[in-house]
Chains A and B, each alone.
Chain A
């Protein structure tokens, strides 16, 4: 019935006190049990939770929400930085592979790297790893050639010593490690 629909549409506003029933509306409510029951439901729904002190302290809720948002932003920024670092390292590794045609040896796993570690361990300064980035193309080629040399030409059993290095390698280690 159009009258029922019209009344139904106004029920929330009347229950909230922003509208009021006219005499005609009240007559309809008295005569229509469906509308009367719906009106009861709306009135109860409007009252539900009114006596409940929720939230106990809106300002405190706001403070906690802001705190969580700030923490989330910090975490997000840290994650983004980590991603950029990982992406940068991956890009550097790819660039090294493309440039040299093979994966760049990690300083720690290479003979030269282990030599530097050994040398630095005995020195007063902290252990330093040769910076491949600081080498020019010729120097880098020499390092790579040294790594490519047959196993028989290199001493890799146990911890290598400075005596195992060529003059050029020794000079490079001294420069890099400050020995």
Chain B
């Protein structure tokens, strides 16, 4: 697979090329999804210094289990589900979570001179609040709100229905609002 064709190819085509032996296709898939995956992992509670390792492990497992990906869910949502499992196992091993609250009006205006600091603080509190949610609610919220993945796709990746995914999202939003208003 040539450089330009790899960049233009769909995920499914890249996976097909990788299965046929193209490492270039695999590298393109990593480059295409690694940043979003890193942000997802970080938002879901991974430590900044651990994110790279989680990304590497998630891609490694995904490529090894490609036979399990049948193309009914997008590669991205399937990959993120693998990453979610990694994070869940890590949480289980560490068994420690820190939960902070989000205060109302935390969205920062671009003109705010202290915006960066406040934004960083808000990020931390959202991450902490998310870590207090049940896993499905946390993942559905992040896949939907942060990654913009459709409910149908999320549902396929998580092995549930679009309706149930929507319910998980709204439960997550409700709980996060409660924390906001606490």
Please give the residue numbers on chain A whose beta carbons come within 8 Å of chain B beta carbons, in ascending order: 8, 11-13, 15-16, 18, 34, 37-38, 40-52, 54-56, 58-59, 61-66, 68-69, 72
Contact = CB atoms under 8 A, between A and B. Distances in A.
Contacts of B180: 37, 40-41
Nearest to B142: A45
B34 A58 contact: yes
B39 A61 contact: no
Main secondary structure of the interface of B (DSSP, over half): helix
A11 B120 contact: no
A59 to B, nearest CB: 7
28 contacts: A8-B173, A12-B144, A13-B148, A15-B145, A15-B148, A34-B177, A37-B177, A37-B181, A40-B107, A41-B126, A42-B145, A45-B141, A45-B146, A46-B146, A48-B127, A48-B146, A49-B39, A49-B43, A51-B116, A51-B120, A54-B39, A54-B48, A55-B51, A58-B30, A62-B26, A62-B31, A65-B59, A69-B64
Interface size class of B (residues with CB under 8 A): 35 or more
The 9 residue pairs across chains A and B that have the minimum distance between CB atoms: A54-B38, A49-B39, A12-B148, A62-B30, A62-B27, A49-B42, A48-B43, A45-B145, A45-B146
Nearest to B107: A40
Interface in B147-176: 147-148, 170, 173, 176
B63 A44 contact: no
A54 B60 contact: no
Contacts of A40: 105-107, 180
A49 B144 CA distance: 16
B56 A64 contact: yes
Contacts, number: 123
Interface of B: 23, 26-27, 30-31, 34-35, 38-43, 48, 51-52, 55-56, 59-60, 63-64, 102, 104-107, 116, 119-120, 122-123, 126-127, 141-142, 144-148, 170, 173, 176-177, 180-181
B126 A52 contact: no
B146 A65 contact: no
A41 B105 CA distance: 10
Contacts of B31: 58-59, 62
Nearest to B51: A54
A55 B107 CA distance: 25
A49 B104 CA distance: 20
A54 B35 contact: yes
